């Protein structure tokens, strides 16, 4: 074929050549991935071995979660080699299982904890890991912690180690807990956006960012109470771990400028002198120190260790043998915002969670259900779909125990009401028994842009909910009455399930948030304890002495299952570039601007992604995203 000679022809010919080259690259790339999958499947995965004397390496990189957010398995498989944007999440139960089994494993000599890249996680999850570290130390084995710098959440875990090591240019950043919110009322006015607010409960502050420029007195009172409760728990725990007076850390923070002046601004020297840490070393010196304490690996350049994820894989058969076959306790994790319809793991869909509960109802092998809730709520309609299915499970004679994670508030509490027993941590954020509606209209915004809305309708209500029109009083009155009905339903459910009067529930409801400890004192929670306590309670209610647990999840497709298995295939992963699993090599990017963006994004999602059919929401906005210890 002759090459074109005209300028347009040359241009089109060049585009065609670029297209053919791009197509070849894509097809060759897909072929290479397919070839890797086939070869890895044929080779199989070699067993992971645990060398005697190994330290269990807890290199915590990401956010602690009760349930991982669903990610396409192919993205997970290629994440390390292609730098794909895959959420870094750490399954809490994996960490707890590894620690507890390692305590009894003669091959494991110690734990090396590196919380350097641990991001903001719920306080109750940190408490669960700290309790497991204490159990490990009680077995006679040592825990070492190393960090370039410690945030207060990272330091909470490190404080429970036998030896806390800090980089010789590092610091311990303690500042206290806070709940600050961005307020958009003035900005919305300038943009001509009218957000119509409907709510019941003076403490229901999730809507305040859209109607105010500052925090209300009621929200300030409630937030101060639950934050104060959690802060006192934090101080008590780290003071006990570091064997100092309970008031030591609080006084240190409030006088930090004068404390630093005593060391001419040297935060590392302050941390060492004030007993926040035990040892100050560089990264290389830390490795040498740990080699001396634990022993060297086969290279002689690093300490002998096994990452906790590889350790779980190596001991998978042993874990399975611990489980009795006498009876089954089902566990369903309800984590994330509640939406109408179906959602993937990491969010809660009313329909998708209902299907999982129905699966438990219809499975005669499962004797009881534990529902692990880590949610600030969401759609009122979806919450009721879930609650009704749980009530049906109890009517069928199967015990239901709720285990509250870091957050189980508003809609998260609504779905807990059918439970035989509710368990929470002292630091769980719960309550927020209230309801609200948000309806933004853009008539003024459209007008400023030269856009207008006009038309006709057959009734006064027809077309009332077009965003280009102001919300008429008729529609506003309808929404408010539905809201009042929703609130009455909420407090009635709580009153019936907790054996309380409507007046007593209303007194502690009104949208107010409580700590788990306060919630138990008020009768909203039965017992304080973790997931293991809830499982034991469910077994007792079901009359089971020997039992095993079964995690109930939505099944993957065969293709997704294959890719997920390959993502954990050691042979295939060894062919792909890997990040080192030893000491950290870079500081985490936790900028103030990044935190602002995430907060703004979460607030805007509340406006555009909530999908309740009636526009009614059981959601605790202040419970999520603002508290990162």
- Alpha-carbon span 538 to 543, nearest angstrom: 9
**Sign of CA pseudo-dihedral 594, 598, 603, 604:** positive
Helix (H, G, I), strand (E, B) or coil at 465: coil
| Residue 352 CA: distances (Å) to CA of 265, 291, 349, 376, 468 | 54, 49, 5, 18, 33
Which of 109, 110, 151, 204 is labelled catalytic? Answer: 204
Helix (H, G, I), strand (E, B) or coil at 111: strand
**Sign of CA pseudo-dihedral 264, 265, 267, 271:** positive
- Is residue 204 part of the annotated active site? The answer reads yes
- CB within 8 Å of 624: residues ≥ 6 apart: 337, 376, 407, 602
Beta bridge partners of 281: 167
- Alpha-carbon span 218 to 511, nearest angstrom: 10
Helix, strand, coil proportions of the chain in percent (round to 5)?
45, 20, 35
Q: What is the dihedral of CA 296, 284, 130, 239, to 10 degrees?
A: 130
Residue 205 tokens read as 């502050």
Q: List, as own/partner pairs, every contact residues 554-558 make where C-beta atoms lie below 8 angstroms and the sequence separation is at least 24, other chains included.
A: 554/344, 554/345, 554/352, 554/355, 554/356, 556/73
Residue from 20, 22, 68 nearest 347 by CA: 68
Residue 91 tokens read as 């399954």
* Helix H or strand E segment including 591: none
For residue 117, report the phi and psi dihedrals to the nearest 5 degrees. -105, 20
- Alpha-carbon span 446 to 621, nearest angstrom: 29
- Alpha-carbon span 454 to 250, nearest angstrom: 61
Contact at 8 Å (CB) between 432 and 512?
A: yes
Ordered DSSP codes for 479-499: HHHHHHHHHHHHHHHHHHHHT
For residue 457, report the phi and psi dihedrals to the nearest 5 degrees. -145, 160
**Sign of CA pseudo-dihedral 462, 465, 467, 471:** positive
Contact at 8 Å (CB) between 627 and 176?
A: no
- Alpha-carbon span 267 to 253, nearest angstrom: 12
Which of 410, 432, 497, 582 is labelled catalytic? Answer: 410
User: What burial letters (b/e) apply to 361-374, b meaning 16+ CB within 10 Å?
Assistant: beeeebbbbbbbbb
- Alpha-carbon span 390 to 371, nearest angstrom: 9
Name the residue with tokens 């299907």.
355
Cα radius of gyration (the chain): 27
Residue 607 tokens read as 């406006």
- Alpha-carbon span 101 to 87, nearest angstrom: 27
Contact at 8 Å (CB) between 528 and 517?
A: yes
CA angle (301, 306, 307) in 5-degree steps: 115
How many C-alpha atoms does 311 have within 13 Å on its Cβ side? Answer: 26
User: What burial letters (b/e) apply to 96-113, b meaning 16+ CB within 10 Å?
Assistant: bbbbbbbbebebbbbbbb
Residue 113 tokens read as 């904890």
Catalytic residues: 204, 410
């Amino acid at each position: 074929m002759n090459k074109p000679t005209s300028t347009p022809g040359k241009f089109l010919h060049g585009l065609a050549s670029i297209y053919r080259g791009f197509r070849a690259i894509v097809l060759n790339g897909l072929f290479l991935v397919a070839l890797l999958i086939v070869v890895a499947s044929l080779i199989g995965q070699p067993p992971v071995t645990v060398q005697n004397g190994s330290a269990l390496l807890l290199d915590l990189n990401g956010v602690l979660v009760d349930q991982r957010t669903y990610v396409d398995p192919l993205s997970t498989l290629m994440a390390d080699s292609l730098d794909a944007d895959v959420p870094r999440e750490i399954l809490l139960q994996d960490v707890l299982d590894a620690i507890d089994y390692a305590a009894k494993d003669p091959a494991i000599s110690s734990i090396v904890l590196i919380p350097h890249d641990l991001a903001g996680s719920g306080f109750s999850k940190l408490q669960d890991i700290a309790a497991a570290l204490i159990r490990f130390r009680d077995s006679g084995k040592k825990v070492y912690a190393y960090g370039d710098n410690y945030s207060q959440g990272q330091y909470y875990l490190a404080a429970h180690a036998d030896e806390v090591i800090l980089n010789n240019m590092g610091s311990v950043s303690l500042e206290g807990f806070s709940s600050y919110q961005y307020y958009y009322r003035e900005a919305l006015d300038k943009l001509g956006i009218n957000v119509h607010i409907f709510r019941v409960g003076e403490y229901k502050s999730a809507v305040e960012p859209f109607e105010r420029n500052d925090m209300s007195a009621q929200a300030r009172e409630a937030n101060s109470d639950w934050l104060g409760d959690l802060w006192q728990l934090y101080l008590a725990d780290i003071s006990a771990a570091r064997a100092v007076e309970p008031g030591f850390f609080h006084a240190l923070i409030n006088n930090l400028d004068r404390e630093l002046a005593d060391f001419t601004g040297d935060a590392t020297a302050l941390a060492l002198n004030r007993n926040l840490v035990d040892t100050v070393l560089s990264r290389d010196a830390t490795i040498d120190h740990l080699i001396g304490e634990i022993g060297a690996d086969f290279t002689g350049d690093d300490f002998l260790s096994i990452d906790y994820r590889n350790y779980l894989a190596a001991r998978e058969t042993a874990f399975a043998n611990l489980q009795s076959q006498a009876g089954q306790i089902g566990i369903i994790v309800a984590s994330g915002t509640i939406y109408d319809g179906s959602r993937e793991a990491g969010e809660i869909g009313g329909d998708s969670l209902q299907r999982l509960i129905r699966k438990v109802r219809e499975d005669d092998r499962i004797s009881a259900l534990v529902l692990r809730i880590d949610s600030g709520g969401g759609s009122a309609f979806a919450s009721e779909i879930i609650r009704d299915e749980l009530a049906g499970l109890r009517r069928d004679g199967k015990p239901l125990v709720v285990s509250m994670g870091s957050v189980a508030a508003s809609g998260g509490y609504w779905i807990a009401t059918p439970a035989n027993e509710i368990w929470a941590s002292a630091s769980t954020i719960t309550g927020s028994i209230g309801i609200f509606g948000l309806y933004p209209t853009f008539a003024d915004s459209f007008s400023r842009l030269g856009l207008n809305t006009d038309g006709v309708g057959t009734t006064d209500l027809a077309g009332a909910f077009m965003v280009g029109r102001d919300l008429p009083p008729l529609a506003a009155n309808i929404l408010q009455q539905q809201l009042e009905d929703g609130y009455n339903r909420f407090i009635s459910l709580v009153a019936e399930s907790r054996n309380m009067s409507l007046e007593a529930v209303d007194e502690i409801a009104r949208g107010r948030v409580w700590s788990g400890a306060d919630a138990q004192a008020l009768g909203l929670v039965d017992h304080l304890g973790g997931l293991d306590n809830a499982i034991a309670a469910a077994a007792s209610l079901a009359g089971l002495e020997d039992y095993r647990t079964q995690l109930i999840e939505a099944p993957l497709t065969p293709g997704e299952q294959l890719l997920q298995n390959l993502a954990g295939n050691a042979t295939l992963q060894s062919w792909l570039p890997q990040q080192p699993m030893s000491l950290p090599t870079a500081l985490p990017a936790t900028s103030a601007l990044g935190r602002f963006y995430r907060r703004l994004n979460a607030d805007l999602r509340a406006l555009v992604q909530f999908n309740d059919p009636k526009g009614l929401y059981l959601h605790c906005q202040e419970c999520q995203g603002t508290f990162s210890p």
